[in-house]
Structure 1
């Protein structure tokens, strides 16, 4: 199975990059499954139903969230009917929506999408290790699911790495989101799970993690907030991770970073070159 994970889409710049680039990637790379983190897609904070539909129309098969899941209050309502929108699994019991979704890939196979949020330097929600473990035990790779993608939305690199090894051999891909900076540690772990600490953001990198620089800089230098954060509006770099899995086991065969457009040095998966 050919899987593309797209890092945090930030504001209009990020959405434009997805709309312009993703359909061609789906076509040219014969992608079977596309997962997009959309928790910053609405003005940098949360997601709306219209944007959810926009990302699905562009080629996303599932959309994951994170700590900004409810910044747009309508998400609390429309997530119940958005069957491909996945919020963190370890939010408190009774939270609207779902923390995992079994979706049909373009090749007709079944893919389990799991979203969880970290606890180090973040709100201490339920134990992500225990929650993910229950999900992986109840929907086993190679049996109930042909591929499993875990989006771990987390601040600390150590916690992300721990989740990667915790899931090794039981998921096709574990990828970190949230910090908006792509790491260079893409690899296949010893048990066959593809891993990357952070996929980076799909947004304007002439910014401070996707936001126009002036207000964050003011707060760092003076400690005084004067305005709200606004997404940067320049050309976005489309950032993510490409994974090819074994059809029998669901484990990873190849993994490569994806970056194109905007300011970052481009890199594309050569193993899918036409």
Structure 2
């Protein structure tokens, strides 16, 4: 199968980029499954229900979250009923929503999507390694699942690479989100798991990680907050990764960078 993962959607620019470009990517490359991280889609922090619905309407089969999962108050009211919205699995017990979802893709493929929070330079969270391992053990790759996608929302590249090696041979893709900067370490590990330290963002790169530069520069220069961070609203680059898997094992046989639109060098996933 072929699937697409896109990194953090940031603000209006990211939402418009998804709406404008994702349907065409799905049609052009025939992706069987699409995952989009939407944790910064609403004003740069969190995800409202209308914005979640917009990402789904553009073609996302699953939308994942991160450390800003509940920054928008109404997320608590709709996450329980949404079977295609996944928040980090290692949040505190009793947190609304689900940390893993097993769903059928548009061509009948069975896909497990797991979302987890890192702990290095991040807020409090339970052990992500054991939490993800438990979810995967309940739905093994090549048996119940045709593909397993792990979105590890973390600050440290060492932690995401550690997760990749921990799950090598047991997941189709382990990909980092959160920093908004696409990394160049895309590869397939020895056991057949595709790994990327950070997918990057779907947002305006004429910015400071998706934010209009004025306020970040003010804080860097003075150390004093002068206002809120405001998402930049120029043309977005959609950043992520495309993976092709072995139909027998669910492991990766091809992994390609995706960068479409905006100011970054373009990278189209020519299979």
TM-score computed with the length of structure 1 as normaliser: 0.98
Q: Deviations over 1:142-176 (max 9, x none)?
A: 11111000000000010010001001100000000
Name the SS for the 1:19 alignment partner.
helix
Q: Partners of 1:27 and 1:269 in 2: how far apart?
A: 13
Q: Which residue of 2 aligns with 1:61?
A: 61
After the TM superposition, which segments of 4 or more aligned residues of structure 1 sit over 3 Å from their partners?
A: none
TM-score computed with the length of structure 2 as normaliser: 0.99
Instruction: Kindly tell me the number of residue pairs found equivalent between the two proteins.
Output: 271
Name the SS for the 2:201 alignment partner.
coil
Unaligned segments of structure 1, at least 5 residues: none
Q: Partners of 1:26 and 1:158 in 2: how far apart?
A: 32
Please, what is the CA RMSD of the aligned residues? 0.6
Q: Partners of 1:22 and 1:232 in 2: how far apart?
A: 20
8 A Cα contact 1:118 1:124, kept in partner: no
Q: Which residue of 2 aligns with 1:184?
A: 184
Q: Which residue of 1 aligns with 2:158?
A: 158
Q: Which residue of 1 aligns with 2:143?
A: 143
Q: Partners of 1:214 and 1:187 in 2: how far apart?
A: 36
Q: Deviations over 1:155-200 (max 9, x none)?
A: 0010010001001100000000000000011100110001100000
Q: Partners of 1:138 and 1:104 in 2: how far apart?
A: 16
Q: Does 1:13 align with 2:52?
A: no
Q: Which residue of 2 aligns with 1:32?
A: 32
Q: Aligned runs of 1:1-274 on 2, under 5 Å?
A: 1-271=1-271
How big is the shift at 1:124? Answer: 2.5
Q: Partners of 1:47 and 1:102 in 2: how far apart?
A: 21
Q: Partners of 1:258 and 1:269 in 2: how far apart?
A: 6
Q: Partners of 1:2 and 1:166 in 2: how far apart?
A: 23
Q: Partners of 2:53 and 2:126 in 1: how far apart?
A: 29
